[in-house]
């Protein structure tokens, strides 16, 4: 059972748009956490709390970067698969 080509195009394009919006949101979260990291390390408070906050924010940034890389590969994959399927459909029509 295959998805009809028109539905495939709609699903593929909407998934790419949603992935791109998620990519933008993850990029915003990385920038937000980098700003938080800057202000957490600038404060002159107890060294233990600063180290804990710094480590937590660095781990959060690292995790969000992994998600960003996954979303990027996902978008690239969908664009390539969509183009291959469209080209295959065009060659079959000829």
- pLDDT tens for 25-75 read 988 888 888 887 777 666 665 565 667 777 888 888 888 889 989 988 988
Residue 53: per-residue pLDDT: 72
Residue 32: per-residue pLDDT: 86
How many domains does the chain fold into? 1
For 1, 5, 24, 42, 64, the CA distances from 21, given in Å and listed in that order, are 30, 24, 5, 32, 14
In a domain, 78, yes or no: yes
Q: Which residue has the higher pLDDT, 93 or 66?
A: 66
Residue 8: per-residue pLDDT: 74
In a domain, 37, yes or no: yes
In a domain, 7, yes or no: no
Task: Give the mean pLDDT of 1-5.
Answer: 58
The residue count of the chain comes to: 94
In a domain, 57, yes or no: yes
In a domain, 1, yes or no: no
Look up the domain containing 76 and give its range. 26-85
Structure tokens at 52: 């804990």
In a domain, 81, yes or no: yes
In a domain, 18, yes or no: no
In a domain, 76, yes or no: yes
Residue 2: per-residue pLDDT: 55
């Amino acid at each position: 059972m295959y998805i009809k080509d028109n539905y495939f195009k709609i699903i593929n394009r909407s998934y790419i748009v949603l992935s791109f919006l998620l990519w933008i949101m993850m990029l915003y979260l990385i920038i937000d956490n980098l700003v938080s990291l800057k202000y957490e390390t600038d404060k002159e408070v107890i060294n233990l709390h600063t180290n804990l906050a710094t480590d937590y924010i660095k781990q959060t940034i690292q995790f969000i970067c992994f998600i960003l890389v996954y979303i990027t590969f996902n978008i690239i994959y969908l664009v390539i698969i969509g183009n291959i399927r469209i080209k295959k459909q065009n060659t079959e029509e000829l």
